[in-house]
């Protein structure tokens, strides 16, 4: 089994904790489902949020999904002029038999514009 990385992102409509939980939860669920993963396959997850998000930690959504024994960390994205606002990004390290080319990176909704080259 190899260690792989899975990327993903979602743009929030508004900065509210419940909305963040819902959207980040949907992103994590899609990442797991599209890569045939369970929480046991997760090694760690990095979350970043744009500087305009203040309502909650994106990692809180993972805990609410039952991902409780996986190391999680949150960080702030660079504040780049013209960057897409209200975005949460994910970098998950996983154990998988899939090749790098077969990993499904998940960019939901308008966040698909961030990585048209790898968005599924």
Length of the chain: 120
The values of phi and psi at residue 76, to 5°, are -100, 135
How far is the C-alpha of 6 from the C-alpha of 1, rounded, in Å?
15
- 7 annotated as a binding-site residue: yes
Task: Please classify residue 107 by burial: count the beta carbons closer than 10 Å to its beta carbon, then call 0-12 exposed, 13-18 middle and 19+ buried.
Answer: buried
How far is the C-alpha of 108 from the C-alpha of 37, rounded, in Å?
18
- 14 annotated as a binding-site residue: no
- 115 annotated as a binding-site residue: no
Q: Which residues are annotated as a binding site for prephenate?
A: 7, 89, 107
């Amino acid at each position: 089994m190899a260690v792989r990385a899975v990327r993903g992102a979602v743009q929030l409509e508004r900065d509210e904790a419940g909305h963040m939980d819902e959207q980040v939860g949907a992103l994590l669920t899609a990442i797991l489902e599209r890569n045939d993963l369970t929480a046991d396959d997760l090694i760690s997850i990095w979350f970043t949020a744009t500087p305009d998000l203040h309502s909650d930690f994106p990692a809180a959504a993972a805990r609410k999904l039952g991902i409780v024994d996986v190391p999680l960390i949150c960080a702030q994205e660079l504040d780049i002029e013209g960057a897409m606002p209200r975005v949460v990004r994910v970098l998950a390290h996983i154990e998988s038999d899939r090749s790098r080319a077969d990993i499904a990176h998940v960019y939901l909704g308008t966040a698909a514009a961030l990585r048209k080259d790898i968005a599924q």
